Structure 1
Amino acid sequence: MSGSNVWGRSREKLRHFPEIFAQCGDEAAVYGKCVAATTTGRQELRKDLCAREFEALKSCFVNAARKRAK
C-alpha cells in the first residue's frame, strides 16, 4: 500500500483551513488568552490547564468542517 494520493488529499484539506478557522475566531481567541494567561514569564503550559477552551475550539473546527463537507 503506497498511498500515492495521501499528499494530494492532505493539501486539499489544508486549503480549506483558513475558511474553517475564520468561523471559529471567538473560540480561538478564548483558547489563546487562556494559554497566554497560564504561561506568563517562564512557566510552561501544563496539560489540561486550558482543556475546556481547547475542547470548545476543537468542537467548533469539527462542526465547521462538517458544514464545509456538505
Structure 2
Amino acid sequence: MSGSNVWSRSRERMRLFPELFAQCAGEAAVYGKCVTATTTGRQELQKDLCVKEFQALKSCFANAAKKKAK
C-alpha cells in the first residue's frame, strides 16, 4: 500500500462529507440544539448529556456513507 493511496482515499471521503452532512441535516440540528441547551451561560458540555442525539447523528452518517459507497 503506497502513501498516495491513503491520502487519495482520505481526500475522497472528505469530499463526500458535505453531501453526507446534507442527508443528516435533521439529526445534526437536533444534536446541535441539545448541545446548545446543555451549555447555556458558562456551563461546559459534559460527557453523555447528548449521547442519544449523537448516536442518531452517527448512525445517519454511517447509513448515508453506506448508500453512497454502493
What TM-score do you get using the length of structure 2 for normalisation?
0.93
Deviations 1:13-42 (A, max 9, x none): 000111111000000000000000000111
SS in 1 for 2:3: coil
Unaligned ranges ≥5, structure 2: none
Unaligned ranges ≥5, structure 1: none
Q: Name the one with the larger helix percent.
A: 2
- Determine the C-alpha separation between the residues in 2 that align with 1:23 and 1:67: 11
The alignment yields a C-alpha RMSD, in angstroms, of 1.3
What TM-score do you get using the length of structure 1 for normalisation?
0.93
Count of matched residue positions in the alignment of Structure 1 and Structure 2: 70
Pairing of 1:11-26 with structure 2 (within 5 A): 11-26=11-26
